[in-house]
Chain A
Amino acid sequence: ILNVEQSPQSLHVQEGDSTNFTCSFPSSNFYALHWYRWETAKSPEALFVMTLNGDEKKKGRISATLNTKEGYSYLYIKGSQPEDSATYLCAFSYSGGGADGLTFGKGTHLIIQP
């Protein structure tokens, strides 16, 4: 079982502030790194999938970076809004002769305070 660590576990941020959190994963045999947003009582929704070292992706106020050599990815939220409150999950897959399954971290639970 692969180890995917996310930190912090939870985060309270004031509305309007920017924030970021981390996903750490094994750096060998990397295939892809996913970020998902999971709101309470809903299903996870894909935000980004990154496959190349140095990849940067952006969607509105949310962006992500990837460092496959050192095994980490950052998710950034600029100017947090109450609707950003959710659990953010990262998931890692490795290449073992072909892409393998996905291993998820436990998530960062983000609460935006008005």
Chain B
Amino acid sequence: EAQVTQNPRYLITVTGKKLTVTCSQNMNHEYMSWYRQDPGLGLRQIYYSMNVEVTDKGDVPEGYKVSRKEKRNFPLILESPSPNQTSLYFCASSFTLAGGEYFGPGTRLTVL
């Protein structure tokens, strides 16, 4: 089954404790991206990747890192999480930007 998976689905952590949210897709997509969704602000792109070893900042990259060492995986790293990073995070992938993105199930992160 074609899918984008994210782990964990839910996470409660404390300020400053490094964490990684994994994202994996099984569709051989080249394009992958991370979004955060906050009430009243909609979906905002954090980082995206056009292919392996190619990553670019989206609209809200501060406080986040990503890597794309393999085509299927695109982890999101929060080196020192802060409460303003409490949000719902979505990973997504597509063949190209001219194709619709497949979204993962979301990760709800709470930073205390």
A98-114 CB mask vs B (1 if < 8 Å, else 0) is 11111111110000000
A93 lies within 8 A of B59 (CB): no
A22 close to chain B: CB less than 8 A: no
B100 lies within 8 A of A43 (CB): no
How many residue pairs between the two chains, A and B, have CB atoms under 8 Å in the bound complex?
A: 64
CA distance A34 to B31 in the complex (A): 15
A49 lies within 8 A of B98 (CB): yes
Known A99-B98, A102-B45, A105-B42; contact A43-B56, beta-carbon cutoff 8 A: no
A residues 31-46 near B (Cβ < 8 Å) are 31-32, 34, 36, 43-46
B104 close to chain A: CB less than 8 A: yes
A residues neighboring B (CB under 8 Å): 1, 31-32, 34, 36, 43-49, 51, 89, 91, 93, 98-107
B44 interface neighbour in A45, A104, A107, Cβ under 8 Å: A104
B90–chain A nearest beta-carbon distance, Å: 6
B85–chain A nearest beta-carbon distance, Å: 18
Name the interface size band of chain B. 20 to 34
On chain B, the residues within 8 Å of A1 by CB distance are: 59
B89–chain A nearest beta-carbon distance, Å: 11
B74 close to chain A: CB less than 8 A: no
B33-53 CB mask vs A (1 if < 8 Å, else 0) is 101000011111100101000
A102 interface neighbour in B33, B104, B105, Cβ under 8 Å: B33
